[in-house]
Amino acid sequence: MEMIERNPASGIYPANPDYIHALEVRHPTRLLFVSGTMGLDQEGMAGVDLDGQLELIWSNLRTILASADMTVENIVRLTSYLRDGAFVEANQNARLRALGGRALPTTAIIVETLSDDWLVEIEIVAAG
């Protein structure tokens, strides 16, 4: 499988170090579509704060990926659902840490979550 960043040099606003316009994935043999994943522990309890929930989300995502013999390196698309716009920077920093600085197509959306104690939810697409 080959991944190629697609960032046109003209005709569109520039990408930045942690954002790319598109990622072309050539010759994947399988795709994994992961539901929105919350910062819940094994008992279904939400982390006490935003940082705790982000840690749990990335731990949960790594567990789901591992069940498909994949890692965060296989993620090709990510959407974050944030309860508050003030969470953008913490979410971005957690994503950059989890992905080792690798940029990929991302979108962040401000939403009302299904439960008041759910602060962020992340869904991904992975390719292998």
Q: Which DSSP string do the residues of the chain spell out, in sequence order?
A: -EEEEE--SSSSPPPBTTB-SEEEEES-S-EEEEEEEESB-TTSPBPSSHHHHHHHHHHHHHHHHHHTT--GGGEEEEEEEESSGGGHHHHHHHHHHHTTT----EEEEE---SSTT--EEEEEEEE-
- Residues in the chain, how many? 128
Question: Is the Cα dihedral 7, 107, 126, 51 positive or negative?
Answer: positive
pTM of the shown model: 0.95
The CATH number assigned to the domain with range 2-127 reads 3.30.1330.40
What would the two tokens of residue 25 be? Answer: 């994935």
Please indicate whether residue 87 or residue 114 has the higher confidence score (pLDDT). Answer: 87
d(CA 29, CA 69): 13
The type of residue at 84 is: D
Task: List CB contacts of 123: < 8 A, sequence separation 6 or more.
Answer: 34, 35, 36, 37, 78, 79, 81
Task: Give me the percent of the chain exceeding a pLDDT of 70.
Answer: 100
- pLDDT bin (cut points 50, 70, 90) of residue 95 is very high
Lowest mean pLDDT among 5-9, 14-18, 93-97: 14-18
Q: What is the mean pLDDT of the chain?
A: 97
